[in-house]
Amino acid sequence: MNEIYDVLIIGSGPAGLTSAIYAARANLKPLVIAGMEPGGQLMTTTIVENFPGFPDGVNGPDLMQNMIKQAERFGARFVYDVVSNVDFSKNNSNKTLKVVAGNKEYFAKSVIIATGSSPRKLGISSEQQFWGRGLSTCATCDGAFYKDKTVAVVGGGDSAAEESTFLTRFAKKVYLVHRRDSLRASQIMQDRFFGNEKIEVLWNKEVKDIVGTSTVTKIVLFDNKSNKQSDLPVDGIFLAIGHIPNTSFLYDALEKDEAGFVKVKNGTHTQTNIDGVYVAGDVHDSYYQQAITASGMGCMAAMDVEKYLASIT
Crossing angle of helices 14-25 and 291-312, in 10° steps, is 40
- What is the distance between the alpha carbons of residues 97 and 91, in angstroms, rounded to a whole number? 9
Catalytic residue among 56, 81, 141, 191: 141
Catalytic residue among 56, 81, 87, 142: 142
Strand 58-59 versus strand 47-48 pairing type: antiparallel
Catalytic residue among 6, 56, 62, 138: 138
- What is the distance between the alpha carbons of residues 47 and 61, in angstroms, rounded to a whole number? 9
Largest CA distance in the chain: 68
Neighbouring-strand partners of residue 211:
218
138 flagged as catalytic: yes
Could you give phi then psi for residue 240, rounded to 5 degrees?
Answer: -135, 55
- What is the distance between the alpha carbons of residues 178 and 296, in angstroms, rounded to a whole number? 34
Q: Are 38 and 60 in contact (CB under 8 A)?
A: no
- What is the distance between the alpha carbons of residues 107 and 103, in angstroms, rounded to a whole number? 14
141 flagged as catalytic: yes
Helices (H), the chain: 14-25, 60-73, 127-130, 139-142, 158-167, 187-194, 291-312
Active site residues: 138, 141-142
